[in-house]
Amino acid sequence: MEFSLQQDASQLDTASSVILPLADLTGGISTLTTDSLKAADNLLSGAISHAIASGDLSSKFKSSQLFLNAGPGPDRILVIGTGTPEQLSGRKYRQLVQAAWSQISSNPGHSVLNQLTTADTKSLDLNSKVRLSVEALVQACYRFDQFKTNNKNIVPIPNMVLLAQTSSQAQLDQSTATAQAMDLCRDLGNLPGNVCTPSFLAEQGHKLAAGSDKVITQVLEEAEMESLGMHSLLSVGKGSAEPSKLIVINYQGGEEGTQPHVLVGKGITFDSGGISIKPGAAMDEMKYDMCGAASVMGAMQAIINMGLKANVVAIVASAENMPSSTASKPGDIYTTMSGKTVEVLNTDAEGRLVLCDALTYAERFNPKTVVDVATLTGACIMALGHHTSAVLSNDDQFAKGLMKAGNQAFDSVWQLPMGEEYQEQLDSNFADLGNIGGRAAGTITAACFLSRFTESYTWAHLDIAGTAWVSGAKKGATGRCVPLLVQHLVNQV
């Protein structure tokens, strides 16, 4: 979907379809409060005001009516209720945009003028409404049907014109790049594990670098990782025929020599649990265990397309975790790239085993900041559910900055504590630390494990286990936390 801006609200004849908001500004009484509504009512010979008077249309949230216009002007005019300004939050605004699109998506024409950006709300500024409009519309148009041989649902995709001032152009550009990157993230997450392997992710890394003189992608193979001492990362893929990869995407959009911001993604392309095998029910969802990597690669695509003036390095630690006679076993001990030794108490706590070596590798870039992203712990779902991701950090101010970026991007995160008392749960009788700390505070102890490998730089960990995908009949990858990562990087410029 292509997006552009229009400043003049009265020009309704520039599009095939028009979406107009009807706000509740008078205690539940619906009236034509804007010039656009009045102009549309004139085009329709009073049909809108008649629908309001008859009770067929109201300003109640998502109440709507589609009017067909046989005369001059747009072919279709959709009027949709936005509720009261106090009720119209970011979440409800997203729902409003998607509800409007569902009413006209079967036949929108060549272009749609969306005036929902003028909806009255107490909590959203214009740029927020532009951001939410773009992301909600792209999400509504998203389909993953490449493996279906028939009955593909082809949706007409018009040009979408948003009513906003030219000052919102930068926000529109960022939002468009972010929404497209979320689609990449969704695609990678939704691909089956027999297609999206570590080698496939490496190919996607090279595609990001193609055609840009600012991007270099390097893929470290197992032999090179072995020589670097990445025995922890390599231990995870020992039971699989698929070779593990470390994918490094280096974007130089800032001044030469400026410290880069580093993103590290967990790329477990399928997680059976290894020898500590998972239950069979819903194991198919373990193809989503590379959504941390997918969000990092999506964020890189966005900033490349935006031409962000910053240096950013993405590191994807990718492996397939399978049980076999060569797989690592509970009780095995491995030496990490840092030199620390880890006792593998549970092979299903594999994400931290690949991330710790990737975080040590990040040191060579002398990073300004490092953020790792992972579908790391089921405990995070128990703590925060499926709406908010967790952030844990060795720098409280940095964590607060990520929370601010999450609020700006409507991709929320919440900080969890990470004190010395939790570190003690990782004590091992036989190695420097164990890879699990027991059932209590599982999200926190996982972050504590990673913190042992980030002592030389400012670091934060994002656990997106509850937000990266949706289970059930409508299961699929969500594209989070691409918006947060992009906004975080924009805020650094």
Which residue bears the tokens 């499926």?
386
Q: Which amino acid is at 346?
A: N
| Banded pLDDT at 211 (limits 50, 70, 90) | confident
pLDDT at 156: 73
Report the CATH number at residue 277.
Answer: 3.40.630.10
- Per-residue pLDDT reduced to its tens digit, 34-79: 889 999 999 999 999 999 999 899 999 999 999 999 888 999 999 9
* % of the chain at pLDDT higher than 70: 98
* Same domain as 187, residue 131: no
Tell me if 457 is assigned to some domain: yes
pLDDT at 10 over 90: no
Which amino acid is it at 66? Answer: L
The answer, yes or no, to whether residue 26 has pLDDT greater than 90, is: no
Work out the burial of residue 305: count CB atoms within 10 Å of its CB; fewer than 13 is exposed, 13-18 middle, 19 or more buried: middle
Q: Which of 278, 340, 368, 404 is catalytic?
A: 278
Structure tokens at 171: 């926000």
User: Mean pLDDT over all residues of the chain?
Assistant: 95
Give the model's pLDDT for residue 149.
87
Q: Based on the residue annotation, tell me whether 278 is a catalytic residue of this protein.
A: yes
Strand partners, 464: none
Q: Find the range with the poorest average confidence among 30-39, 96-105, 242-251, 359-368.
A: 30-39
Read off the pLDDT band of 409 (50, 70, 90): very high
Question: Does a cis peptide bond (omega within 30 degrees of 0) precede residue 196?
Answer: no
Total domain count for the chain? 2
Please check whether residue 462 is in contact with residue 448, taking contact to mean a CB–CB distance below 8 angstroms: no
Q: Is the pLDDT of residue 25 over 70?
A: no
Q: Give the mean pLDDT of 139-168.
A: 87
- The answer to whether residues 195 and 49 belong to one domain is no
- For the beta carbon of residue 215, count every other beta carbon within 10 angstroms: 21
Residue 93 — left, alpha, or beta (φ > 0 → left; ψ -120 to 50 → alpha)?
alpha
Confidence category of residue 392, pLDDT binned at 50, 70, 90 = very high
Is residue 319 domain-resident?
A: yes
Query: pTM score, two decimals?
Result: 0.95
**Helices 482-492 and 291-306: angle between axes, nearest 10 degrees:** 40
* Same domain (yes/no): 107, 234: no
Which neighbouring-strand residues pair with 434? 343
Residue 299 placed within a domain: yes
Write the pLDDT tens digit of every residue in 433-472.
999 999 999 999 999 999 999 999 999 999 999 999 999 9
**In this structure, what DSSP letter does residue 426 have?**
G
C-alpha radius of gyration, the chain, whole number: 25
Q: Are 266 and 293 in contact (CB under 8 A)?
A: yes
- pLDDT class for 101, splitting at 50, 70, 90? very high
- Six-digit token pair at 256? 């030469």
Residue 353 and residue 348: Cα distance in Å, rounded? 10
Task: Compute, in degrees rounded to 10, the torsion defined by CA atoms 371, 193, 199, 366.
Answer: 10
Residue tagged active-site, from 287, 352, 452, 480: 352
Which stretch of DSSP H or E encloses residue 186? Answer: helix 169-190
pLDDT confidence band for 384 (50 / 70 / 90): very high
* Residue 173 covered by a domain: no
Select from 138, 164, 190 the last residue of a domain: 164
Residue 379 within any structural domain of the chain: yes
Q: What is the rounded distance in angstroms from the CA atom of residue 210 to the CA atom of residue 136?
A: 29
pLDDT for residue 289 is more than 70: yes
pLDDT at 30: 62
169 domain-assigned:
no
Average pLDDT of the segment spanning 464-488: 97
Residues 98 and 186 reside in one and the same domain: no
pLDDT category at 153 given cuts 50, 70, 90 is: low
What average pLDDT score do residues 122-142 get?
96
pLDDT mean over 419-426: 95
Residues 371 and 424 in one domain: yes
300 is a domain residue: yes
Same domain, 235 and 328: yes
pLDDT at residue 28 above 60?
no
- With a cut of 80, say whether residue 276 has pLDDT above it: yes
CATH number, residue 18: 3.40.220.10
pLDDT over 80 (residue 292) = yes
What is the average per-residue pLDDT within 184-211?
97
Q: Express each pLDDT in 314-343 by its tens digit.
A: 999 999 999 999 999 999 999 999 999 999
pLDDT for 35: 85
β-sheet bridge partners, residue 22: 81
Mean pLDDT across 283-312? 98
Residues 154 and 41 in one domain: yes
% of residues, the chain, pLDDT over 90: 91
Pick from 131, 164, 197: which residue ends a domain? 164
- DSSP collapsed to 3 states, 330-369: CCCEEECCCCCEEECCCCCCCHHHHHHHHHHHHHHHCCCE
Tell whether 70 and 211 lie within a shared domain.
no
109 and 227 both lie in a single domain: no
Q: Which domain holds residue 31?
A: 3-164
**Average pLDDT score over residue span 364-393:** 97
Residue among 239, 260, 285, 331 at smallest CA distance from 473:
285
- Is 171 contained in some domain? no
Which pLDDT band, with edges at 50, 70 and 90, does 136 fall under?
very high
Whether 139 and 186 share a structural domain: no
Residues 306 and 215 in one domain: yes
Burial class (CB in 10 A: 0-12, 13-18, 19+), 458: middle
131 classed as catalytic: no
Residue 31: pLDDT band (50, 70, 90) is low
**pLDDT for the residue 27:** 59
Q: What is the mean pLDDT of residues 468-487?
A: 96
d(CA 224, CA 196): 22
Cβ neighbours of residue 125 under 8 Å, at least 6 residues apart?
Answer: none
Q: What value does the mean pLDDT take over residues 273-288? A: 96
For residue 248, what pLDDT is reported? 98
Domain boundary among 140, 164, 188: 164
The encoded tokens of residue 109 equal: 């024409």
Structure tokens that stand for 414 in this block: 């919440």
Co-location of 346 and 485 in the same domain: yes
